[in-house]
């Protein structure tokens, strides 16, 4: 299908989301950015007489792939999935204009908004599967690994929204095995150079919140399991390991990692650290990470620690706070210096 095209999906997505509204959860701004960029790519491809990949349901289900001759074609598919995901997230919460309307009308609008939310999420998952198919045929191994993890997250989010928690746990486990989380290293983590200012994987993990969705799936599945509480963790860990092992076999993850590790330094996807054979999934205790305990310090101690971080000097307690201030000796008054002339006479007269 032509030359191999590289797509630095993780760094590209993280930079786009950070610069175009998602730092403050402004999904409408991000939708506008994706639409503008899609329009630019579409006009550029038409001027160059390059075929534009279709992202409709019919094009995806037909399994007929066009020839990829330009990197912008892959970027077009990626931004189509991102725009559908951003529109889905935009429809998640009711707008502020519906705060004081009739409850019956609000219920109807909420139902319509939920169906639109699910339609956009289904389209995002379908387009991401199309992106995986194109990158397998035209891109390098690192790009394929990134797209498989991206598709796994969108499919897992769709399953969770559709109340299919077992399927959602399978997809999210694969995503976390590839992308990693706060307590584990993913397969593609060694391939991405990160610095203190720009950490793309950590930013995506924060915005996607895949680990929190995974723990929510574990909690929902545990309610339907007829197992004692002490054995729930081992049963759920077994389900996650089974899903990851199945994905490793069907997707050919090991072969892709070995191929990506052969890339020379300085190229996109070049390995920057030793690669573990299989990334270990985070396996927290059932309720410890799902429901973090509040700090044991009281409010006064927490306020004092926050002020210490900001460099604010603590003030002595007063009698109004129920504490008696210790008696201290009054400081001795220093003798004032005599000032001569009219200024000195006026000053002495004011004191009298």
Quickly state the pLDDT bin for 58 (edges 50, 70, 90): confident
pTM over 0.85: no
Distance CA 155, CA 226 (A): 27
Classify domain 1-95+105-137 by CATH architecture. Answer: Orthogonal Bundle (1.10)
The pLDDT, as a whole number, for residue 259 is: 84
pLDDT category of residue 17 using cuts at 50, 70 and 90: very high
| Cα–Cα distance measured from residue 271 to residue 262, given in angstroms and rounded to the nearest whole number | 8
Q: Over 80: is that where the pLDDT of 304 sits?
A: no
3-class secondary structure, 147: helix
**Burial state string for 109-132 with b = 16 or more CB within 10 A and e = fewer than 16:** eeeebeeebeebbbbbbbbbbbbb
Which residue is listed with tokens 């000053």? 347
Task: Give dist(CA 39, CA 198) in Å, integer.
Answer: 28
The answer to whether 83 and 32 have CB atoms below 8 angstroms apart is no
Integer CA distances (angstroms), 54 to 42, 57, 96, in order:
11, 9, 35
Please answer whether residues 226 and 188 qualify as being in contact, where contact means their C-beta atoms are separated by less than 8 angstroms.
no
Q: What is the pLDDT of residue 338?
A: 52
pLDDT at 237 over 90: no
Q: Does residue 340 surpass a pLDDT of 90?
A: no
| Percent of the chain whose predicted confidence (pLDDT) is above 90 | 34
Q: Which of 317, 155, 165, 138 is nearest to 239 (CA)?
A: 165
Q: What is the pLDDT of residues 83-105, one digit of tens each?
A: 999 999 998 877 777 777 788 88
Q: How far apart are CA 180 and CA 210, in angstroms?
A: 10
**Residue 308 pLDDT level (bands cut at 50, 70, 90):** low
Once rounded to an integer, what is the mean pLDDT over residues 120-147? 92
Q: Which two tokens stand for residue 204?
A: 């995506």
Every domain of the chain and the residues it spans: 1-95+105-137, 140-291
For the chain, list the strands marked E by DSSP.
none
How many Å apart are CA 180 and CA 201, to the nearest integer?
8
Residue 316 near residue 325 (C-beta atoms within 8 A): yes
- Let me know: does 126 contact 60? Beta carbons within 8 Å: yes
Calculate what percentage of the chain has a pLDDT beyond 70: 74
**Tell me, what's the pLDDT at 297?**
43
- Using DSSP's 3-state secondary structure scheme, residue 184 falls into strand
* Average of per-residue pLDDT across 205-224: 89
Q: How many CB atoms lie within 10 A of CB 312?
A: 11
Number of residues written out for the chain: 352
């Amino acid at each position: 299908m032509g030359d191999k095209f590289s797509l630095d999906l993780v760094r590209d997505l993280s930079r786009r989301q950070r610069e175009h509204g998602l730092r403050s959860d402004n999904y409408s701004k991000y939708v506008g950015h994706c639409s503008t960029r899609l329009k630019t790519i579409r006009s550029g491809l038409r001027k160059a007489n390059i075929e534009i990949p279709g992202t409709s349901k019919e094009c995806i289900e037909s399994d007929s792939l066009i020839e990829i001759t330009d990197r912008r074609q892959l970027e077009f598919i990626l931004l189509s999935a991102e725009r559908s995901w951003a529109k889905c997230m935009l429809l998640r919460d009711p707008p502020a204009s519906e705060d004081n309307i009739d409850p019956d009308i609000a219920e109807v609008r909420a139902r319509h908004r939920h169906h639109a939310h699910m339609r956009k999420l289904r389209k995002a998952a379908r387009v991401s599967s199309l992106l995986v198919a194109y990158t397998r045929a035209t891109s390098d191994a690192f790009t394929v690994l990134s797209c498989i993890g991206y598709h796994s997250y969108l499919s897992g989010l769709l399953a969770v929204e559709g109340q299919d928690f077992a399927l959602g746990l399978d997809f999210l486990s694969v995503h976390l095995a590839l992308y990693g989380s706060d307590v584990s290293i993913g397969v593609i983590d060694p391939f991405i150079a990160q610095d203190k200012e720009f950490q793309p994987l950590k930013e995506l993990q924060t915005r996607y919140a895949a680990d929190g969705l995974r723990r929510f799936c574990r909690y929902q599945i545990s309610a339907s399991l007829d197992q004692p509480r002490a054995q729930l963790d081992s049963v759920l860990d077994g389900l996650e390991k089974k899903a990851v092992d199945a994905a490793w076999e069907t997707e050919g993850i090991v072969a892709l990692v070995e191929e990506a590790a052969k890339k020379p330094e300085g190229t996109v996807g070049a390995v920057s650290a030793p690669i573990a054979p299989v990334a270990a999934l985070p396996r927290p205790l059932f309720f410890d990470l799902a429901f973090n305990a509040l700090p044991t310090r009281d409010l006064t101690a927490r306020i004092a620690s926050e002020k210490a971080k900001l460099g604010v000097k603590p003030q002595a307690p007063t009698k109004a706070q129920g504490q008696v201030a210790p008696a201290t000796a009054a400081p001795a008054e220093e003798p004032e210096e005599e000032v001569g002339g009219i200024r000195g006479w006026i000053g002495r007269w004011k004191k009298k």
